[in-house]
C-alpha cells in the first residue's frame, strides 16, 4: 500500500508550471495519483496525490527551488485512503442567477439538509462587472428522491435563481 | 456456455477495428450465448461488444430493459449494426467493462436510427432514443476500436440544457 500525500501548489498563473512541477516530482521518485489542476482567477491551482519519493520533509525541500522561482506556495500533508475510492454521483444540481453573497451557502445548506453528499462543485462568475452572473454545477450523491431535492430547492426560484436538478445516469457498457 | 475473458485497457487490441459477420451459423449463435453470459457475469452492464472479449467481429448485445422508465426494444443481439441517422446530443456519464474503476462524461446523440442483422442474418431496423441510443453508440464504438475514454469531455465541461419556450 503506497503512502499517499496531498500536495497543493498555488501561484500566479503562467505557462509551464505543470511541466516543471511534475518533472521535479518525477526526479524525486514520486508517483502521481488523482489530480485537479485549474486556473482560478489569475492563479493556477494544483492539488495532487503523490506517493513514493523520500520523506515528506525532503519532498518539500526538493520542490522549494522551483516553487520560489515560479512563485508557488506549497502545502503537503498525508492523504488518507488512496486510489480506487471513487464514489459515484447520482444527482446533478445546476444553479445560475444574479451573483449575490450567500448563494452557495443557501444552495448547499438546503442540499446538506437533504443528506446530499457533494462530490464535486465547480462555479464560475460570468456576465460583466455591472451584472455578474453566478453559475454553479454540483454533482453528488443523495438517497432521497430527485423530487424531494427539487422541492427543497424550489424556494430559491422565488429569488430569481434558476435551479435545475437532474439525475446522473451511469451507463456501463 | 462460458464466461469469456474481458480485455481491459491498456490492451492495444481494444483499438482494433472489427470485421463484418458473413456466416450466420451455429458457431455464431454459440459465441453470442457466451458473450451474453459474460455480460451478465460482470457489474450490471447494459451492453457488450465482441471485441471486448477479443473477437473482432461486428457483434454487440444491448439490453436496457431492466432499467426503470426507459424506452427500449428489449434484449437486442445486433450483428453488423450501423447507425444511419443521428439527432440531438446530450452529455451522460459512462463506464465500461474494459475500463474498470473509471467513469466519464461523454456526448452522444439522443435519437438514432439503426440498421442491423439478427442471428439468422435477417435485416432489422430501429428508432431509438435516450439511454438505449446511448448504449448502442457506446457498443458500436467498440467495433471501430473506440472506447468512451476516447470521447470523454472535461469534468468541468457542462452543457446547460436550453429552455424550450412555447410559442
ipTM: 0.86
> Between 3.40.605.10, 3.40.720.10, 3.40.980.10, 3.30.70.260, what CATH number should domain A4-78 receive?
3.30.70.260
What whole-number distance in Å separates Cα of residue A167 and Cα of residue A75?
36
Q: Which of residues 48 through 67 in chain B touch A, CB cutoff 8 A?
A: 48-49, 62
Of the partner residues A86, A164, A171, the one whose CB lies closest to the CB of residue B92? A171
Active site residues per annotation of B: 139
Contact between chains at A170 and B139 (C-beta distance less than 8 A): no
Sign of the Cα pseudo-torsion (A110, A111, A113, A114, in order)? positive
Per residue in A12-60, pLDDT (tens digit) is 999 999 999 999 999 999 999 999 999 999 999 999 999 987 666 789 9
Q: Is A170 exposed, middle or buried (0-12, 13-18, 19+ CB in 10 A)?
A: middle
Per residue in B78-120, pLDDT (tens digit) is 999 999 999 999 989 999 999 998 999 999 999 999 999 999 9
Q: In CATH, what is the architecture of A91-167?
A: 2-Layer Sandwich (3.30)
B160 touches chain A (CB under 8 A): yes
Query: Chains A and B: how many Cβ contacts under 8 Å?
Result: 56
Contacts of A85 (CB under 8 A, 6+ apart): none
A173 touches chain B (CB under 8 A): yes
Mean pLDDT of chain A: 92
Q: Where are the domains of chain B?
A: 12-153
Residue B144 is predicted with a pLDDT of 98
Residue B42 is predicted with a pLDDT of 81
Q: Measure in Å the smallest separation between the Cα of B121 and chain A Cα atoms.
A: 24
**A4-78 with A91-167: one CATH topology?**
yes
Contact between chains at A169 and B93 (C-beta distance less than 8 A): yes
CATH 3.40.50.150 holds for B12-153: no
Residue A54 is predicted with a pLDDT of 66
Amino acid at each position: 500500500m503506497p503512502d499517499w500525500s496531498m500536495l497543493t501548489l498555488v501561484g500566479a498563473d503562467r505557462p509551464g508550471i505543470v511541466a516543471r512541477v511534475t518533472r521535479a516530482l518525477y526526479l524525486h521518485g514520486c508517483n502521481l495519483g488523482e489530480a485537479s489542476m485549474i486556473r482560478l482567477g489569475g492563479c493556477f491551482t494544483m492539488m495532487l496525490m503523490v506517493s513514493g519519493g523520500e520523506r515528506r520533509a525532503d519532498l518539500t525541500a526538493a520542490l522549494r527551488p522551483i516553487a520560489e522561482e515560479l512563485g508557488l506556495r506549497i502545502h503537503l500533508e498525508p492523504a488518507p485512503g488512496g486510489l480506487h475510492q471513487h464514489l459515484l454521483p447520482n444527482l446533478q444540481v445546476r444553479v445560475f442567477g444574479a451573483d449575490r453573497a450567500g448563494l452557495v451557502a443557501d444552495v448547499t445548506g438546503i442540499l446538506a439538509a437533504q443528506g446530499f453528499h457533494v462530490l464535486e462543485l465547480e462555479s464560475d462568475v460570468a456576465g460583466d462587472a455591472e451584472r455578474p452572473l453566478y453559475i454553479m454545477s454540483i454533482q453528488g450523491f443523495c438517497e432521497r428522491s430527485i423530487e424531494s431535492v427539487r422541492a427543497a430547492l424550489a424556494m430559491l426560484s422565488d429569488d430569481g435563481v434558476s435551479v435545475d436538478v437532474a439525475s446522473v445516469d451511469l451507463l456501463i457498457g | 456456455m462460458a464466461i469469456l475473458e474481458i480485455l481491459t485497457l491498456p490492451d492495444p487490441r481494444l483499438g482494433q477495428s472489427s470485421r463484418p459477420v458473413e456466416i450466420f451459423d451455429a458457431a455464431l449463435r454459440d459465441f453470442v450465448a457466451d458473450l451474453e453470459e459474460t455480460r451478465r457475469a460482470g457489474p450490471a452492464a447494459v451492453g457488450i461488444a465482441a471485441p471486448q472479449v477479443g473477437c473482432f467481429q461486428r457483434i454487440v448485445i444491448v439490453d436496457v430493459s431492466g432499467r426503470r422508465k426507459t424506452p427500449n426494444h428489449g434484449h437486442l443481439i445486433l450483428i453488423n449494426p450501423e447507425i444511419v441517422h443521428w439527432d440531438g446530443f446530450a452529455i451522460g456519464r459512462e463506464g465500461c467493462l474494459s475500463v474498470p474503476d473509471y467513469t466519464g462524461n461523454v456526448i452522444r446523440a439522443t435519437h438514432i436510427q439503426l440498421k442491423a442483422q439478427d442471428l439468422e442474418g435477417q435485416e432489422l431496423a430501429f428508432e431509438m432514443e435516450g439511454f438505449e441510443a446511448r448504449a448502442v453508440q457506446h457498443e458500436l464504438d467498440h467495433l471501430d476500436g473506440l472506447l468512451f475514454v476516447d470521447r470523454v469531455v472535461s469534468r468541468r465541461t457542462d452543457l446547460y440544457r436550453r429552455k424550450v419556450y412555447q410559442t
